[in-house]
Amino acid sequence: MLKVDKLTKRYGRTIAVSDLSFHAPDGAVTGFLGPNGAGKSTTMRCMLGLDKIDGGSVLVDGKPLRATVHPASLVGAVLDAGWYHPGRTARGHLRVTAASAGIASSRVDEVLETVGLTPAAHRRVGGFSLGMKQRLGLASALLGDPHNLILDEPVNGLDPEGVHWMREVMRSAAEEGKCVLVSSHLLSEMQVVADRLVVIGQGSLLGEYSMDEFLAQGKRTIQVHSDDDATLYSLLQGLGAEVTRTPQGLVLPVGSHVPDSLAVSRTCRDADILIHSLQESTPSLEENFLQLTETAAVYRADK
């Protein structure tokens, strides 16, 4: 389990992370989301002791990481796929990493097999693709068979098969009772793999949710297109619904006045209006995320 309590990190006068608190429990994949510049990578570096914090605390399985004799058995991380020595082989890199962490060299071949790099074990890392470097990063993280995984954009550079594979790695770890904290800008992937979400903006917590809770925040809508949208618009407004005209037809929120698409269908039937299309929609994770972080984005394109 990972627990962050009132974490604060400054760079000069800039506050990168401010009084941030959240937790990532065992047996779950926790998605760590936020706009660019929100402080996700900084938070992860602070959690791993790579950046000195200016306030608050981080506990890994109930204790500070610095108090652990063998931290590699407690937490493994993938932060930056570009930092490897280009002249080393994949196997050589892992052997050095294992030796520095007090891990048996026998683990090297095991993790190479786990991440699918056995055929490339004797190739120099400088010739690796980004996807291969991501696999090597995960191999490094798994060397100590840690209970906790911290993964920053782990699917960057992976092809569709690799993305599916990484998803299975994260889900399998959670099903084994391990803790997985993962950041990604691929929100559709987060919707598939994560059990929980922690959302931050400008270094502060915006919310902590189960996936179901987060998805339920968005308003369901009804989209309808008929042979007489003008009349249908007036009828639905007469029921008290907030109706919006679009090029594709009419859109209205599900609510007390119009509880579901069946109510729209009945209205059309009673008025002898022919329906061309009718559907209910639930906002995606991406739509809810954009709504939640709208005022917290540091870098925003002009509309």
Query: Where are the domains positioned within the chain?
Result: 2-216, 221-281
Contact of 252 with 239, CB cutoff 8 Å: no
Q: Is pLDDT of 256 > 80?
A: no
Q: Is pLDDT of 206 > 60?
A: yes
Class of domain 2-216 (CATH, top level): alpha beta
Q: Is pLDDT of 233 > 60?
A: yes
- Going by pLDDT thresholds of 50, 70 and 90, the confidence category of residue 301 is very low
> What would the mean pLDDT of 3-20 be, rounded to a whole number?
96
> What would the mean pLDDT of 97-104 be, rounded to a whole number?
94
The reported pTM is 0.83
Q: Is pLDDT of 210 > 60?
A: yes
* pLDDT over 90 percentage in the chain: 80
232 or 297, which is more confident? 232
- Tracing tokens 């602070």 back to the chain, one arrives at 46
| pLDDT given for residue 296 in this prediction | 64
> What would the mean pLDDT of 188-200 be, rounded to a whole number?
95
155-176 b/e with 16+ CB inside 10 Å = b? bbbbeeebbebbbebbbebbee
| pLDDT given for residue 271 in this prediction | 96
- Going by pLDDT thresholds of 50, 70 and 90, the confidence category of residue 302 is very low
| pLDDT given for residue 163 in this prediction | 93
Q: Is pLDDT of 291 > 90?
A: no
Tokens (6 digits) for 60: 């890994």
Q: Using N-to-C axis directions, what is the helix angle for 106-114 and 130-142, rounded to 10°? A: 130
Give the 3-state secondary structure of residue 297.
Answer: coil
- Going by pLDDT thresholds of 50, 70 and 90, the confidence category of residue 142 is very high
The CATH number given to 221-281 is 3.30.70
Contact of 189 with 163, CB cutoff 8 Å: yes
Tell me the C-alpha distance between 203 and 20, whole Å.
Answer: 7
Q: How do residues 117-137 score in pLDDT, each as one tens digit?
A: 999 999 999 999 989 999 999
Classify the phi-psi angles of 231: left when phi > 0, otherwise alpha if psi is within -120 to 50, otherwise beta.
alpha
> What would the mean pLDDT of 72-89 be, rounded to a whole number?
89
